[in-house]
Structure 1
Amino acid sequence: MRGEKSDPPAKVPTAAVTYEVTGEGRVDITYQGASEKGTGESVTRAELPWRKEIRVPLGRTPVVSVVLGPDGGHAKCALAVKGRHVQSATAEGAYGRTSCTGVLPAPEPSAD
């Protein structure tokens, strides 16, 4: 209705997530961003080492994926949630791929 005030949007609880990719050369990286809708973000031909610290909404799956180029190489992804190492994995060779995934608990229901 016109002229009525609406409640501000509810703030979604988050957790600190660190994505890290080490190795040699440049790689394409895709990762779960901080958006509440769970959209991914990409970095093309990222120079290594690469690191990103963000806050991911609870209930979303933090993930970082790495793709090597045609010249191959070696890259390792690592994922930490709230400062604790969760997973690491390695990609090698031409167009090698790998990903690291973590789990965040679902947000607690609000007591409205």
Structure 2
Amino acid sequence: MSSETREAGPSTSTVEGAGADVDAPETTGTADAGAGSDGQGGTPPVDTEDGGHKTHSDRSVLIAAVGLLVLCLGVALFGMVRGGDEGKAEPKAPTAPVTYEVTGEGTVDLSYQGVSEQGTAETVSGASLPWKETVEVPLGQNPVISITLGEQGGQVRCAVAVRGRHMQSATASGGFGRATCSAPLPAPEPEATN
């Protein structure tokens, strides 16, 4: 059987069992203020919650902040170099005003070249006469109007004017009569390069 001995004086204890240190002083888990700073090879305590890795975490935060700053500056410089192209509209192709006119009596189906740069035509079914429309047509395109009479026939005339100047006219008559008027527009002049 084992016995336990207690002595008065410094706090030492004898505990039952093997491997117990008889003369070990009790520790409280808090470091002395001067421990490790007496030049005897100890490490100074660090007041961090994660156990003393303050310098490494500060360095990581600093590197992340510098990286974020470099990224933001890169995006800002990219926007400046591009010159804010998103806000600018692409230059439109130069156009000329073209007036289409159809005269006569009754109704007519017609199609004409308008502002579309793809060359698609605007169509009007059963247009009451007289009919007139002025549109912008891109230079290099040929403004054209085509008219078709209905079953009742009749007599109608189409005309094309470019920049107010009469260019061509044609007449359609009889049942399902047809006529087409067109005018050439000059190609746009190439832009001068500096």
TM-score, normalised by the number of residues in structure 1: 0.92
What is the number of equivalent residue pairs in this alignment? 111
Alignment of 1:78 with 2:159, yes or no, is yes
Residue 104 of structure 1, aligned match among 161, 172, 185: 185
Structure 1 unpaired stretches of 5+: none
Partner of 1:50: 131
Paired amino acid for 2:107: R
Alpha-carbon shift at residue 111 of structure 1 (Å): 2.6
Distance across 1 between alignment mates of 2:135 and 2:125? 19
Q: Which has the higher strand share?
A: 1
Write out per-residue CA displacement over residues 26-72 of structure 1, whole angstroms, 9 at most, x where no aligned residue: 00010001112221000000000000011111001000110000111
Task: Give the superposed CA RMSD.
Answer: 1.5
Q: Which has the higher helix share?
A: 2
Distance across 2 between alignment mates of 1:80 and 1:24? 21
Alignment of 1:89 with 2:166, yes or no, is no
Higher relative contact order by CA 8 Å / sep ≥ 6: 1 or 2? 1
Distance across 1 between alignment mates of 2:92 and 2:99? 21
TM-score, normalised by the number of residues in structure 2: 0.54
Paired amino acid for 2:152: D
Report percent identity of matched pairs. Answer: 57
Q: From the CA coordinates, give the structure whose radius of gyration is larger.
A: 2
